[in-house]
Structure 1
Amino acid sequence: MKFERVRATCVALGFLGLSACDLLFPWEDAVLPKVLGHPKLIKSDSFDGFREGCRYAIFKLSPETIQKIRSNGVEFLSSDRDASHGHPRNPYSPWMKTPIVGGRQQDRNYIYAYGADGGCNDRTVPSIDVERISQKPGYFYQLTANREGMIFVSPSHGVVVYIYFG
């Protein structure tokens, strides 16, 4: 339990621009809910500043997890509401299905997380265009309360993408 507190503190400090803890506890290890199992990190990219930052990570889901998502969708994803997932002052929404109505830059409910779509410093990272395909059915997502963080699951691509911009 003590280990988890230290790790959570390091992750929180990383969002404040103090990323020395990333050497001991990579932020990518702490961003996904446990229901997604242990997906393999394909690529990540981040930039930290004082109280602002950008984080992008794309993970390969296991075939078993992909099958469970295809079979049971939101019901499977919601089956384990991990209490340690997210920050208590900026919690994640329940899992939702796409298409996302609105959320584009001209909309009042703009999803700021789209700013990290495709990477932060290195726009050549392997990616899927989350903003574009989130307008289509067949995908699943969670948003933080302030819309700066998003977890996007694409069963057809076999990946989960974490984006944070704010």
Structure 2
Amino acid sequence: MPPADIDIERATTDDLEAVADAWVRLARNQANHGSHVLADPNRETMLATLGAYQVDGGLLVARDRETVVGFASVTVERGSLALDCTRGLLSNLYVEPEYRGRGIGTALLEAAEDELRGRGVDICTLEAMAENESARRFYRQAGYDSFRIGFERTL
């Protein structure tokens, strides 16, 4: 349950610019944890991607009155391989730093899971940077277990 002054709801088209700006801040922060994704050069691409999530109903925002203070994006996995379950993907979850520690991230995660559950999803997957211990701790506390480990090497 979010704090009383925060609403979690589906994003509108009017929210897209604010969410894209928040995504840029998220991507900038992820660079501190080893991400290779460039924030500013990818803003317009992510604006279009977030727009697709919004049209599909998979873009959620945390709102303090009229201000977007966090967001989550989800989709049902539609791969080419047959699976023994229906898998959903939480591709982004972000809360503005000054709003953290108030349960907003947990409320966004729960709303994202509810959205996926409503679409018939059995398992929610997500990724966190290996060096982002606070994100990994957050997801572990929410009941997520690691199931795949990625490796990289500079050539």
* TM bucket normalised to smaller: under 0.3
Q: TM-score, normalised by structure 1?
A: 0.26
Scaled by the length of structure 2, the TM-score of the pair is: 0.27
